[in-house]
């Protein structure tokens, strides 16, 4: 009997490890409604299922304007844009690139990303953790090519083609989160102490002052 309990315990542990990153839904849908003032939950409150309609599961995405310092623009379709995604553990983003446009090094704390190129040529990559030696994995992707960026790892996409580029990213969370590395460190509010940043990057105060003066555009 003890062996049976042990097997059940092992199954319980391993099955939770292989499940989706977001918690699994316990009903057909839980269309998000706005937070109740001062009450916060992990996810969003559910709309009355009887009032749910097709529009709750629908969103339209147009090509984005890439006329900005990065030459790229991300259009998220996360739970905040598409309330029907609540509890479903999935989201999407469209990424538009001007020639030489960059989606700068960033991470998604809650999602793995799978990206398909619809148009153009992208140089993409991610870096593994310190424990793995910070190895860089890169690839040049053309129309139809697909690449995966594992959850939490720093990654980027650069348009190396002659024209515009377009990609669609699937993300394994209703609310993946995005942390652009440079912006998070150099545009934090309130600012991170200069002593921390000069030591971390091994730069002097003048170099840090130069960096802090830049625009650090957020393309999300
Ligand atoms: Mn990404």
Per-residue model confidence as pLDDT tens digits over 35-45 = 788 888 899 99
User: How far, in Å, is the centroid of ligand 1 from the Cα of 148?
Assistant: 10
Report whether 59 belongs to an annotated binding site: no
Tell me: is residue 35 an annotated ligand-binding position: no
**CATH fourth-level superfamily of 1-177:** Jelly Rolls (2.60.120.10)
Q: How many residues does the chain have?
A: 220
113 marked as part of a ligand binding site:
yes
**pTM, two decimal places:** 0.88
User: Which DSSP category does 213 fall into?
Assistant: H
Centroid of ligand 1 to alpha carbon of 23 (angstroms): 21
Is-contact 158 74, C-beta < 8 A? no
How far is 92 from 176, CA to CA, in rounded Å?
9
Q: What is the DSSP code (8-state) at residue 194?
A: H
C-alpha 139 – ligand 1 centre gap (Å): 15
Residue 5: other Cβ atoms inside 10 A = 9
Which sequence spans correspond to the domains of the chain?
1-177, 180-220
Those residues whose C-beta lies under 8 Å from the C-beta of residue 183, and which sit 6 or more positions away, are 104, 216, 218
If you average pLDDT over residues 43-62, what whole number do you get?
97
Confidence of residue 13 (pLDDT cuts 50, 70, 90): very low
Q: For residue 173, how many other CB atoms are within 10 A of its CB?
A: 23
- For residue range 81-117, list pLDDT tens digits in order: 999 999 999 999 999 999 999 999 999 999 999 999 9
pLDDT tens digits for 187-208?
999 999 999 999 999 999 999 9
- Residue 38 CA to ligand 1 center (angstroms) comes to 31
């Amino acid at each position: 009997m003890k062996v049976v309990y042990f097997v059940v315990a092992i199954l319980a542990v391993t099955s939770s490890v292989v499940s989706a990153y977001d918690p699994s839904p316990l009903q057909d849908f839980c269309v998000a409604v706005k937070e109740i003032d001062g009450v916060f939950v992990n996810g969003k409150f559910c709309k009355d299922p009887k009032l749910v309609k097709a529009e709750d599961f629908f969103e339209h995405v147009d090509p984005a304007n890439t006329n900005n310092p990065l030459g790229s623009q991300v259009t998220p379709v996360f739970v905040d844009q598409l309330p029907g995604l609540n509890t479903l553990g999935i989201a999407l983003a469209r990424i538009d690139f001007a020639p030489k446009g960059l989606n700068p090094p960033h991470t998604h704390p809650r999602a793995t990303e799978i990206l398909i190129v619809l148009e153009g040529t992208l140089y993409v990559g991610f870096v593994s953790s310190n424990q793995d030696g910070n190895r860089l994995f890169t690839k040049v992707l053309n129309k139809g090519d697909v690449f995966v960026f594992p959850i939490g790892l720093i990654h980027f996409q650069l348009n190396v083609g002659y024209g515009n580029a377009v990609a669609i990213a699937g993300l394994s969370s209703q609310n993946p989160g995005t942390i652009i590395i440079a912006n998070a460190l150099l545009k934090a509010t309130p600012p991170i102490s200069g002593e921390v940043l000069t030591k971390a990057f091994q730069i002097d105060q003048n170099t840090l002052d130069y960096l802090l003066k830049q625009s650090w555009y957020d393309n999300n």
